[in-house]
């Protein structure tokens, strides 16, 4: 064997020995269990989001609220994807005297090709890391009476009660409107409810 070949063989052997030692040390190193951030501090829900959790024939979205500071996420509930994709998700919550939170999320869906627009609501309470007293998903508004009427942007007020949104009929009408969500829970409102006109152009 040449000297160059022996040097190469020695360097390769040393390299693989180092990998083996490092892997063995990593395998023996004890792992510290991760603490659940939802249990270590008071939870303050700051935003809401959803994940597509459907598998196979199960078509669902799952909603969560979360706190940015500590990464805590709390599951709220599921929504079937058969009602349409989720758009314009908005969230707000208020802290009660006992330290719990009352929250609400709203979003809209569009069913094609029927062009049905529906605004949905979901109410919940959070005490510590426990979710309770949920209501929904329930319909807030829809355009079933006239599918030429549509809605785009939405925003929920800090007290959870009022929804502001952009309503339009293509090339005919465009306006900013507001509704009291609780007034639409038992009797679904139309998108162009006259009580909520704020700004028209």
Burial of 29 (0-12, 13-18, 19+ CB in 10 A): exposed
- For residue 113, what pLDDT is reported? 81
- For residue 130, what pLDDT is reported? 84
- For residue 172, what pLDDT is reported? 83
- Stretch 143-163: mean pLDDT, rounded? 92
User: Where do we find the tokens 């309770």?
Assistant: 132
Helix ranges, the chain (H): 3-28, 37-40, 182-185
Q: What distance in Å separates the CA atoms of residue 114 and residue 116, rounded to the nearest whole number? A: 5
Of 58, 64, 113, nearest in space to 80 by CA: 58
DSSP state of 34: P
Strand partners for 75: 64
- For residue 158, what pLDDT is reported? 93
User: Where do we find the tokens 């009291």?
Assistant: 180
Report the share of the chain in percent with pLDDT over 70.
Answer: 76
Domain residue extents for the chain: 1-31, 37-200
- For residues 109 and 85, the answer to whether their CB atoms sit within 8 Å is yes
Q: State pLDDT tens for residues 29-69.
A: 555 555 666 765 678 889 999 998 877 677 889 999 998 88
Q: State pLDDT tens for residues 119-145.
A: 999 999 988 878 887 898 999 999 999
What is the residue-averaged pLDDT of the chain? 81
> Which tokens belong to 98?
């006992």
User: Where do we find the tokens 């609780």?
Assistant: 182
Of 145, 143, 187, nearest in space to 167 by CA: 143
- Stretch 89-96: mean pLDDT, rounded? 93
pLDDT reading at 18 higher than 80: no
pLDDT reading at 90 higher than 60: yes
Least confident among 7-21, 97-111, 157-171: 7-21
pLDDT band of 24, cuts 50, 70, 90: low
CA–chain centroid gap for 66, Å, is: 9
Sign of the four-CA dihedral 170, 172, 175, 177: negative
């Amino acid at each position: 064997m040449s000297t160059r070949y022996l040097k190469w063989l020695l360097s390769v052997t040393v390299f693989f020995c180092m990998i083996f030692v490092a892997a063995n040390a990593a395998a023996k190193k004890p792992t510290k269990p991760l603490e659940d951030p939802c249990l270590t501090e008071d939870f303050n829900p700051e935003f809401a989001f959803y994940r597509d959790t459907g598998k196979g024939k199960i078509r669902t979205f799952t909603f969560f609220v979360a706190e940015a500071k500590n990464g805590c996420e709390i599951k709220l509930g599921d929504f079937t994807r058969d009602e349409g994709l989720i758009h314009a998700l908005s969230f707000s919550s208020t802290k009660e005297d006992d330290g719990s939170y009352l929250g609400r999320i709203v979003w809209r869906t569009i069913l094609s090709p029927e062009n049905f627009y529906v605004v949905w609501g979901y109410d919940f309470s959070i005490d510590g890391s426990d979710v309770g007293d949920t209501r929904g998903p329930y319909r807030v508004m829809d355009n079933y009476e006239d599918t030429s009427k549509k809605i785009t942007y939405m925003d929920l007020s800090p007290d959870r009660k009022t929804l502001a949104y952009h309503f339009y009929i293509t090339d005919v009408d465009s306006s900013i409107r507001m509704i009291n969500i609780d007034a639409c829970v038992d009797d679904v409102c139309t998108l162009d409810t006259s009580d909520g006109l704020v700004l028209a152009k």
